[in-house]
Amino acid sequence: MTSNTSLWKHTKTWFHRWGSPAWFYRTSGLIIPWLWAGFFLLAVPGLFWGLFIAPADYLQGDSYRIIFIHVPSAWQSMLIFAVMAGFALIGMVWRIRVAETLAMCCAPIGAAFTVVTLISGSLWGKPTWGTFWQWDGRMTSELVLLFLYLGVIGLQQAIEEPRRAARAAGLLALVGVVNLPIIHYSVEWWTTLHQGTTVSLLGESSIAPSMLWPLLLMVGAAKFFFAANLLSRTRNTLLVQDREKNWVRETVWGVKQ
Amino acid sequence: MSMDWLSGPHATFILSAYGIALVVSLYVALAPVFSGKRQRRLIADMHQHQDQQTT
């Protein structure tokens, strides 16, 4: 009982520490190189396997190889929106500035993943369906996701005071979460040109293991890319927000004042 | 190892998709590195200016 209480206390203290910008800046600086290492460790074999080892698809031929960037980007674009809304909620409920900053730094990365998803999907669509674009459920809801990201970025830029901007944009992120189940279930709710679910986390996947493994490596790589990038962007933003504070002075000059 | 697809009919689509993904991810990955360096320099200049004014 005592050890459990002590473990809980330690975990709580550890989480609270992340709320300190100075601690966040120092600790994330130590983690970022490892995240990049994780990204390269997964992305290099994933890309090589996907582009040069995995066999051609019996129906789509080689054009399916776009899956190794399209699906990881698409999953990541949705996950980032959920993470952004989660941080925005934490920021709103507990007024933790680091959480607000993390939420706002998610938006440009999520928008980039959404752009890659839309462009790669479009380039895959032409040889497969004969068209770059169709206003079907999956594609349209993914485009709405891009507009939501742009809305969050725009709203945040439009308000000068950073904390007010983060709260207003965070509210939009929370409302926008409603789009995530629409994207996910769009292929089941409507008859779409976009194919149905191929990879299932709980059930059996309808994709060959020789194609599934490189795909999973790329999915993992996208997670590391996002985490490293998010921490880098958040560190920069915190440094600018706290430029008058002592911890920034110590960090920039490398000495205690 | 199969590289036959590079001379196949879908090579343009595959290479375009990967090329665009590479450009976007490079931009997203490198932007905070360069802006971080610039911001640290600006903050250092600001502190130096403040210190000079106080002495």
How far is residue A169's CA from residue A181's CA, in Å, rounded to a whole number? 20
Residue A144 CB-density burial (10 A; 0-12 exposed, 13-18 middle, 19+ buried): middle
- Residue numbers of the domain that contains A218: 68-197+207-252
Distances (CA, A) of A134 to A124, A181, A190: 12, 20, 13
- Residue B18 covered by a domain: no
- Residue B44 covered by a domain: yes
Find residues 25-54 of chain B whose CB sits inside 8 Å of chain A: 25, 27-29, 32-33, 35-36, 39-40, 43-44, 46-47
Cross-chain Cβ contact A232/B36 below 8 Å: yes
How far is residue A226's CA from residue A220's CA, in Å, rounded to a whole number? 10
Cross-chain Cβ contact B17/A112 below 8 Å: no
Angle at B50 between CA B46 and CA B52, to 5 degrees: 115
Answer yes or no: is pLDDT of B34 > 90: yes
**Considering just the CA atoms, what is the radius of gyration of chain A in Å?**
21
Task: Find the mean pLDDT for residues A6-34.
Answer: 91
User: Model confidence at A38, in pLDDT bands (50, 70, 90)?
Assistant: very high
Tell me if A69 sits within 8 A of B17, measured CB to CB: yes
Tell me if A43 sits within 8 A of A217, measured CB to CB: yes
Tell me if A184 sits within 8 A of A78, measured CB to CB: yes
Distances (CA, A) of A148 to A85, A153, A170, A180, A210: 12, 9, 11, 11, 36
- Residue A86 covered by a domain: yes
User: SS3 of A208, please?
Assistant: coil
Predicted structure pTM score: 0.93
Least confident residue range of A16-20, A168-172, A203-207, A249-253: A203-207
User: Model confidence at A256, in pLDDT bands (50, 70, 90)?
Assistant: low
- Residue B3 covered by a domain: no
- Residue A156 covered by a domain: yes
- Residue A12 covered by a domain: no
- Residue B11 covered by a domain: no
Cross-chain Cβ contact B14/A66 below 8 Å: yes
- Residue A169 covered by a domain: yes
For the segment B7-28, what is each residue's pLDDT rounded down to a tens digit?
988 999 999 999 999 999 999 9
- Residue B48 covered by a domain: yes
How many domains does chain A divide into? 1
Cβ contacts of A176-180, under 8 Å, gap ≥ 24? A176/A81, A176/A85, A176/A145, A176/A148, A176/A151, A176/A152, A177/A81, A177/A82, A177/A85, A179/A81, A179/A141, A179/A144, A179/A145, A179/A148, A180/A78, A180/A81, A180/A82
- Residue B41 covered by a domain: yes
How far is residue A113's CA from residue A70's CA, in Å, rounded to a whole number? 9
> What ipTM was estimated for this complex?
0.92
Q: Given CB atoms, is B15 within the 8 Å cutoff of chain A?
A: no
Find residues 162-201 of chain A whose CB sits inside 8 Å of chain B: none
How many domains does chain B divide into? 1
